[in-house]
Chains A and B, each alone.
Chain A
Amino acid sequence: MRAELSKLLGLPTAWAGLVLGLIAAPALVFVNTPGLRRALESGRIADLGYENLGIGLLGALILGVVAVSSEYTSTGDDSPGAHQMTATLLAMPRRSHLLVAKGVALSLVVAVQGTLTASATMLLTQVMLPDYAPPFAPARIAAAVLYWTLLGLLAFATTLIFRNGIITLTVFIVNSSVVSVSYLLTKLTPWAAYLPDIVGAHMFLRSMPGETHIPPLTAGLVMTTWVAAFLAAAGFFFTRRSA
């Protein structure tokens, strides 16, 4: 576990994810304040501040991807087939133990980052828009942090299945920021609201776009189930494949 933490935090790309995740949401509060003010005057206030938290999940995604993709990056031009996973498996040959250690290390890092960011974002919202900001709600912040952590684990599992970070990163970033395929699907069927990447947001957002309203607890359970299924699949492949 300690080894996995040290490994993850020893990577420059992991720090990029950390910094991005840490500052993106609070920064958005600053940038977005004028727009928010207008929205507020028209009466939409339920998710003030929390809406900005969505962007911070990029950090969790990057961390989840990097925790695995760094293992499969070629170590040098002299030996293109060689990667760090060999050293990792030589040090920790029990693959199931290794996966648990990695998952726990990742969850810890994302959770600490998420707590800091979410708290900072909400406090900042209160400073910038004191008249409108909702009261500081630890439970909703915890839900947002849980959402990030689960998303980090989802990225982790997906990358492990594909053994390639580019695919995961592209799919998740495009889906979460440019065009949300999952969101478009909700136009076709309300069941799409239960897709892994968007269901979790119901845990802390009260006015999600779309018709379906999912209670926070249900959303959390559904997303946890998705993540557990992805992790199980990743574990299945990982313990059976040659390194």
Chain B
Amino acid sequence: MISIDRVSRPGILHEVSFEARPGRVTGFLGPNGAGKTSTVRILLGLDRPATGTATINSQPYASLPRPLTVVGALLDGSGAHRARTARAHLRWLAASNALPRARVDEVLEAVGLTASAGKRAGRFSLGMSRRLGLAAALLGDPPVLVLDEPFNGLDPAGIQWMRAFLSRCATEGRTVLLSSHLLDFPVDDVVVIDHGRVVARGTPAEVQGDHDSLEDAFLSLTGAATW
């Protein structure tokens, strides 16, 4: 269970609160610059909120003893130093959380990078970098996944691959928090954020309300309809 409780950062986030419930895919939607990435970074202990708390299973991320076994996160970029091979990157990550080395080859296979395992991360295409990031997220086989804009910049084949991957995670019963500025994946719950404030949350049907589609609801909630 992910719980964000009245998290604020001056000028960026204003009392943001929501939950991502176990075993469900929660879509965290909002236009670019709405505060999605800031919220995710606070949840993962990378940035500090001015006020409020963000917890995973009632614990702040920073106090998880082996965080990779609890939460897998995908942020911008692969996280690997350009000069490092995909395998070397995953190996140090595995060592940092006392995970068996065998997991490295397992996750490389899970994201389809086995053939490129010895390639330096700096030579990866954007789609491959994203997959390497996912491999890192899966390393500890975590029950919770936090994915920030996983579709960004992907070509159609990459988008298709990412959809299939997310479907698999959902059927495996993982808790998924999926931040996106697009409504391109079926979700169980929706949280809509705009200008640093949560403007709607609930099931897709609840958020859609009287609008013709969830997309219409999203556009009118975020004021993007004026475009």
Contacts and interface: CB of A to CB of B under 8 A. Distances in A.
Contact of B96 (A3, A75, A81): A3
* Chain B contact patch, size range: 35 or more
B124 A243 contact: no
Nearest to B146: A90
B80 A75 contact: yes
B81 A11 contact: yes
Interface stretch (B18-26, B68-76, B109-117, B189-197): B68-76
Interface in A1-42: 2-4, 6-7, 10-13
A12 B83 contact: yes
Given A76-B129, A90-B44, A93-B64, A84 B91 contact: no
B76 A79 contact: yes
B81 A3 contact: no
A10 B67 CA distance: 23
A243 to B, nearest CB: 4
A3 B95 contact: yes
A73 interface: yes
A82 B82 contact: no
Given A84-B79, A90-B44, A94-B62, A76 B95 contact: no
A11 B84 contact: yes
Contact of A90 (B73, B95, B129): B73
A87 interface: yes
A81 B76 CA distance: 8
Interface of B: 41, 44-48, 61-64, 67-68, 73, 75-84, 88-89, 91-93, 95-97, 121-122, 124, 126, 129, 136, 153
Interface of A: 2-4, 6-7, 10-13, 70, 73-76, 78-79, 81-84, 86-95, 242-243
